[in-house]
């Protein structure tokens, strides 16, 4: 028998963004249906299989952590998260300590930490558990959204045997979003031929809660603290180089990492499985269509350079949830959707094109440019107002109110 439901809001996609969106909307009293292509993530186990499933972690800045706290899912121990006290950016040479390093300290902004490094898999599991405890959210799991039909005051969704009528459909269904495509929203694509390798590794020196980003031709090599003497690695390089490294056995991969990682973190110990993420940035030309709003990677996919993606997605979630709370009535109201698009446009475009430009410069620059960029980093280090502006740019607040 087909499942039929008529709801105010349907959230499509149960990644971190969709789960957070469903929870945030329900917190404001909306009746929500969450459509998941597969089963929801299982109970969190920070050092177990759940944490290993995706391999990625996200460096989430304090505004994003604030949202997760308000949603009741920020438990650092349960998540296997680690605070980030300092950010170190290294330019020049191989990126070893002989290069120019610029270090930002959270204390300079009067904060204990910039944010936390959170495994995506445990975060998704914790959000899914919270969704399961929320009476106002009905989960329809097991079949992807296939079709969307417009009626004057509803959208009709088809997913397997499920038929949903919703006044607002929120597309959180990732880079190949069916919500976006069925609305006819075009995208801009940027592919610079890079692939990120992601894994965790143990090391002999303490990381002292410093996240270290080595700017190298081909892309950044970033080590982000995890609990104990462990870090997550995001190594972005040209796809051919990354593919060759994916084929190495663990000892050979450790050897390839050693000149970059060991100066900062000592000898490299156990390595987790390596995961590859081809980097193909994509930006939706509109964040809304009639009775539809896009959040997360359905709206914008960007390079991990600068650790912006999920931070940006959680700002989408907070903004849309707040608009839904402050404008009761039809959640698919065109004025509400226009306010969402307007509130998010500058942030989304500025991050997307800013990161793309930075990425292109890193890829295109012959050694003299990299030298110049290293010198610029060194100069910035001595200019407190510029440092402050850079740091404050990273700490832009998530609209609150949840």
Ligand X SMILES: Cc1cc2nc3c(=O)[nH]c(=O)nc-3n(C[C@H](O)[C@H](O)[C@H](O)COP(=O)(O)OP(=O)(O)OC[C@H]3O[C@@H](n4cnc5c(N)ncnc54)[C@H](O)[C@@H]3O)c2cc1C
Enumerate binding residues for ligand X (CB under 6 A).
12-18, 35-37, 56, 58-59, 120, 144-145, 172-174, 178, 196, 198, 234, 277, 296-297, 304, 307-311, 313
Q: How far is the CB of 132 from ligand X (least distance, A)?
A: 16
- The residue among 308 and 359 lying less far from ligand X, judged by its C-beta, is 308
- The C-alpha angle 274, 275, 276, rounded to 5 degrees, equals 125
DSSP per position, 179-192: HHHHTT--EEEEEE
- The residue among 36 and 321 lying less far from ligand X, judged by its C-beta, is 36
Strands (E), 151-305: 155-159, 162-171, 187-203, 210-214, 221-226, 230-238, 268-271, 275-284, 288-289, 292-294, 300-301
- The residue among 19 and 92 lying less far from ligand X, judged by its C-beta, is 19
- The residue among 301 and 374 lying less far from ligand X, judged by its C-beta, is 301
- The residue among 130 and 145 lying less far from ligand X, judged by its C-beta, is 145
Residue nearest to ligand X (CB): 15
Q: How far is the CB of 291 from ligand X (least distance, A)?
A: 17
Q: How far is the CB of 64 from ligand X (least distance, A)?
A: 7
Q: How far is the CB of 6 from ligand X (least distance, A)?
A: 19
Q: Which long-range contacts (CB under 8 A, 24 or more apart) does 129-133 make?
A: 129/43, 129/44, 129/73, 130/19, 130/23, 130/71, 130/72, 130/73, 131/14, 131/19, 131/22, 131/23, 131/34, 131/40, 132/40
Q: How far is the CB of 236 from ligand X (least distance, A)?
A: 8
Task: Give the DSSP letter of residue 298.
Answer: G
Measure the CA dihedral 237/242/244/249, to 10°.
120
Token pair for 342: 């307007």
- The residue among 154 and 282 lying less far from ligand X, judged by its C-beta, is 282
Task: Give the DSSP letter of residue 92.
Answer: S
Q: How far is the CB of 196 from ligand X (least distance, A)?
A: 4
């Amino acid at each position: 028998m087909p499942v039929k439901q008529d709801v105010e809001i349907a959230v499509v996609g149960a990644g971190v963004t969709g789960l957070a969106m469903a929870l945030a909307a329900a917190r404001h009293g909306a009746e929500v249906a969450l459509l998941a292509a597969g089963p929801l993530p299982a109970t969190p186990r920070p050092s177990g299989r759940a944490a290993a499933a995706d391999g990625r972690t996200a460096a989430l800045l304090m505004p994003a952590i604030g949202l997760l706290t308000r949603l009741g899912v920020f438990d650092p121990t349960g998540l296997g998260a680690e605070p980030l006290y300092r950010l170190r950016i290294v330019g020049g040479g191989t990126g070893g300590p002989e290069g120019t390093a610029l270090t930002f300290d959270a204390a300079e902004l009067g904060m204990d930490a910039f944010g936390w490094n959170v495994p995506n898999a445990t975060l998704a599991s914790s959000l899914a558990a919270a969704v399961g405890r929320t009476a106002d959210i009905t989960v329809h799991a097991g079949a992807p959204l296939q079709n969307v039909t417009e009626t004057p005051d509803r959208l009709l969704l088809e997913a397997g045997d499920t038929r949903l009528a919703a006044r607002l459909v929120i597309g959180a269904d990732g880079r190949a979003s069916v919500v976006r495509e069925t609305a006819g929203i075009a995208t801009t694509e940027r592919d610079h031929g890079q692939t990120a390798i992601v894994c965790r590794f143990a090391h002999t020196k303490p990381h002292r809660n410093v996240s270290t980003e080595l700017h190298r031709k081909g892309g950044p090599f970033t080590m982000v603290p995890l609990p104990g003497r462990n870090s997550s690695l995001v190594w972005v390089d040209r796809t051919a180089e990354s593919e060759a490294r994916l084929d190495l056995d663990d000892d050979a991969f450790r050897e390839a990492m050693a000149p970059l990682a060991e100066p900062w973190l000592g000898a490299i110990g156990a390595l987790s499985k390596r995961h590859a993420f081809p980097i193909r940035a994509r930006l939706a030309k509109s964040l809304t269509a009639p009775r539809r709003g896009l959040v997360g990677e359905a709206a914008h996919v960007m390079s991990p350079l600068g650790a912006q993606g999920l931070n940006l997605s959680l700002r989408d979630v907070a903004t849309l949830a707040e608009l839904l709370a402050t404008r009761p009535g039809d959640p698919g109201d065109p004025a509400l959707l226009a306010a969402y698009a307007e509130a998010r446009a500058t942030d989304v475009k500025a991050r997307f094109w800013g990161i793309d430009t930075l990425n292109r410069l890193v890829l295109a620059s012959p050694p003299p440019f990299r030298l110049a960029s290293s010198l610029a980093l060194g100069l910035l280090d001595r200019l407190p107002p510029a440092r402050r502006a850079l740091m404050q740019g990273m700490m832009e607040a998530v609209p609150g109110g949840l």
